[in-house]
Amino acid sequence: MSSLNLDDFTDLIERPDGGVRRDAEAHRERRIVPPGALGRLDDLGEWLAAAQSAVPVRPIEHPRAVLFAGDHGVAALDVSARPAGGAGRLVRAALEGASPASVLARGFGVPVRVVDMSLEADPGGLPDEVVRHRVRSGSGRIDVEDAMTLEEAEAAFRAGMAVADEEADSGTDLVVLGDISVGGTTAAAVLVAALCGTDASVVTGRGGQPIDDLAWMRKCAAVRDALRRARPVLGDQLQLLATVGGADLAATTGFLLQSAVRKMPVILDGVVSAACALVGQRVAFRAPDWWLAGQRSGEPAQAKALDRMSLEPLLDHGVTVGEGAGALLALPLVQAAARLAAELPEAPAPEPEETPAEPDADAEPDSEV
């Protein structure tokens, strides 16, 4: 029996300040740029103002990329183009600045934090700050066994919450959230199918590195079998994560919910973060108001999850590499929206029109010459 009561999040999470958002809308109406001329940037600026409870909005100055990492046992079924147990190599590439996400983050001046939750890698080969939250090595094959125990799921969930608190306490004002995993998109597809009541074929995509048709059919079968195991535990979100998720997905869910508690905005990346957000929505219905969808990856499970949460992606570039790369591409757009909302001056007030003087009724008429 878990000691973690997820129902508490319903009371702890408030929506962004609606009154401040109305003030931000009024401020926009007074700006020198005509309303609507900046398109969705206006909406983003108002959303940030409500999240910050500040008008005008403060510029985004301390963003951080947070990547939860783990290996998934279901990858042993050859459902991924990457080798099973290979997430550790991806983590090392990210730490060395050699991954797409780390290259983008370096260019944008964004620090990257990697959190190992369940890598099948020697923890001694990674920095202490990366491995200190590790729950286990890998996860169970979710088509035939649980990803982890309920106790491990709770530990991972609490680790995600702790990371969110650490980021909020350190002054992070926007998080780009991603994952580094092998087999993670399969687990994510199962979660989305279970929560949306759809079949495996509807949510199964080709993954971060596109797989061929035979691999897709194996992946679809794995999602189908795991979905059968997920349905009986749909009423308990922590048990659902333990059954068909993974430690990295449980930590991501805990991070998302605690970020909403701490009023720290998050940009979601691909299908894994979207699936965890969907679990978070089931826990606390107001939580998605604190999240942005960074990009449309093309994964059907991501599209299904975002549609269920009414989140419209900021970009549509089909970036499937994961690791927060797609969400990082959306970060400059959010920063631009904040800066425009903060720095554009108000239009000058129109000068009052001069009215002609009324003729003096008591004055004598001009004499005719």
pTM: 0.91
Instruction: Please determine, for residue 366, whether its predicted confidence score (pLDDT) is greater than 70.
Output: no
What stretch of H or E contains 300?
Answer: helix 300-309
Architecture of the domain defined by 61-335: 3-Layer(aba) Sandwich (3.40)
- Residue 352 binned pLDDT confidence (cut-offs 50, 70, 90): low
| Among the listed residues 122, 127, 128, 113, the one whose alpha carbon sits nearest the alpha carbon of residue 69 | 113
Q: pLDDT of 259-295, one tens digit each?
A: 999 999 999 999 999 999 999 999 999 999 999 999 9
Instruction: Please determine, for residue 226, whether its predicted confidence score (pLDDT) is greater than 80.
Output: yes
Instruction: Please determine, for residue 369, whether its predicted confidence score (pLDDT) is greater than 50.
Output: no
Find the catalytic residue in 46, 152, 299, 323: 323
319 vs 299: CA distance, rounded Å: 10
- Residue 356 binned pLDDT confidence (cut-offs 50, 70, 90): low
Domain positions in the chain are 61-335
Q: How far is CA 334 from CA 10, 40, 156, in A?
A: 27, 10, 30
pLDDT at 346: 75
Choose the weakest-confidence range: 306-310, 321-325, 341-345, 352-356: 352-356
Strands, sheet with 291-293, edge to edge from the N-terminal-most edge strand: 112-118, 63-71, 174-182, 266-268, 291-293
pLDDT at 322: 79
Q: pLDDT of 289-324, one tens digit each?
A: 999 999 998 899 999 999 999 999 999 987 888 789
Q: What are phi and psi of 6, to 5 degrees?
A: -70, -20
289 vs 153: CA distance, rounded Å: 25
Mean pLDDT (the chain, rounded): 91
- Tell me, yes or no, if 323 is annotated catalytic: yes
Choose the weakest-confidence range: 52-56, 230-234, 238-242, 303-307: 52-56
